[in-house]
Amino acid sequence: MSDAPLALPVVSAREIASRQVLLALAVRGSPMAAAHTVPGQYARLTLEDGVARQFVIASPPASPTLEFLLKVPPERVATLTALGPGDRVQVGRQQGDGFPMAKAEGRPLLLVGVGSGVAALRSVVEHVSPRRTAFDEVTLLYGVRHQSELAFVDRFGAWAGHGIKVVPVVSRPTPGWDGATGYVQHHLPRSFAKPARVCVFLCGLPEMDKAVAAALLERGVGPDQLHRNW
């Protein structure tokens, strides 16, 4: 397809977590439908402020919509959630190699992300779910500061139903939170039965990436088993 951006129709735009808007664009019949081939790819969006920015695609390949998790300042939430049918958003061609899904097949798959980095991992989980028998154990460690920032909570039950373990981790919990606390690196498995078989996908802040990688290397996971989508 051409590198020129396309104006894709808006299907919906809703705030699914604090200051995080899930934007869904209709892609069926567009050249972009065939260009999204692997979880972890990204594209440039030009939103209402006229600035083109890069966002990871949160929907799985072959989805009839391209979905993006937009983390924005509070003052922009209302403007973005006002988008709907009849509106269009300029989207550039999908880019990036994404995650190496073939390397994960038949192996334990550990997904670790923080903040809006969960968007790339959500694409992985939604891709894996209908193909669950092709993978060994699948675990998602997802860290945020406050529980109000957890996105895709409405999908956690469905993912668990597909045998995917979801561990949300909150570093600055407020009263009422009874889940895991601290940072994602504190909740990695203490050991692996066969560390050389584990496949790890990482997406998030450099500090998280560095801490998780160091902890996994100590557990016998090799650097060539750690994969990023960039």
Q: How much of the chain, in percent, has pLDDT values that exceed 70?
A: 99
pLDDT at position 224 over 80: yes
Residues ≥6 apart with Cβ < 8 Å to 200: 109, 110, 111, 112, 212, 216, 221, 225, 226, 227
- Contact criterion met (CB below 8 Å) for 110 and 202: no
Closest by alpha carbon to 61, among 122, 132, 150, 138? 122
**pLDDT per residue as tens digits for the range 54-75:** 999 999 999 999 999 999 999 9
Q: How much of the chain, in percent, has pLDDT values that exceed 90?
A: 92
Closest by alpha carbon to 93, among 29, 39, 41, 21? 41
State residue 2's pLDDT score. Answer: 59
pLDDT at position 30 over 90: no
CA dist., res. 213 & res. 219, Å (int)? 10
Work out the average pLDDT over 190-215.
96
pLDDT at position 196 over 90: yes
Task: Quickly tell me which residue has 């959500």 as its tokens.
Answer: 122
Q: According to CATH, where is 2.40.30.10 located in the chain?
A: 6-91
Farthest-apart Cα atoms in the chain, separation: 53
Split at pLDDT 50, 70, 90, the class of 128 is very high
Work out the average pLDDT over 83-103.
95
Q: Could you tell me the pTM of the whole model?
A: 0.96
Domain 101-228 has CATH 3.40.50.80: yes
Work out the average pLDDT over 102-118.
97
State residue 197's pLDDT score. Answer: 97
State residue 1's pLDDT score. Answer: 53
State both tokens at 15.
Answer: 């705030």
State residue 54's pLDDT score. Answer: 95
CA dist., res. 118 & res. 63, Å (int)? 18
- DSSP label of 101: H
Q: According to CATH, where is 3.40.50.80 located in the chain?
A: 101-228
**pLDDT per residue as tens digits for the range 31-58:** 888 889 999 999 999 998 899 999 999 9
- Provide the CATH number for the domain formed by 6-91 in this structure: 2.40.30.10
